[in-house]
Amino acid sequence: YKQPHIVLLLSDDLGWNDVGWNNPDLKMPILNQLAADGVIFNQTYAQPTCTPSRSALMTGLYPFKTGNQHRMLLGLERSGLSLEFKLLPESLKDVGYLTHALGKWHLGFCKKEYLPTSRGFDSHYGQLGGGVSHWTKETSMFASG
């Protein structure tokens, strides 16, 4: 049995009509094809800011269960999504997946243990927090060493 590829897209501030499969005026052939070949979640709930949305996606829990329900993490805040929670990429690695993250993390980076590559991702390329203008690249070898 060959495991299927999994691509999860989380986009901040994306409206119903901001994607090609709901709005034919938008030309996004690659995303439209991914949507046609995959699964579209049309009836979902979103959180008001990015940290709660990301914590829900990564843990499978409502943000109030993780303590991330009220706001996004601020720049150099000495906090992050609690290490007590097992994240989606960690569970995927348990069953043999390679895991990679692209884009904004925004779940904490005050310590090495909070970095994406310490939370189950083999690599991460993107912003660690909100409002950061530069992108960083890390691999699990960097995070563990």
Residues with active-site annotation? 50, 106
* Cα dist from 107 to 96, 114, 132, whole Å: 24, 7, 13
Query: How far are the Cα atoms of 32, 60, 126 from residue 133, in angstroms, in the given order?
Result: 29, 29, 10
3-state SS class at 144: helix
CB 124 within 8 A of CB 142: no
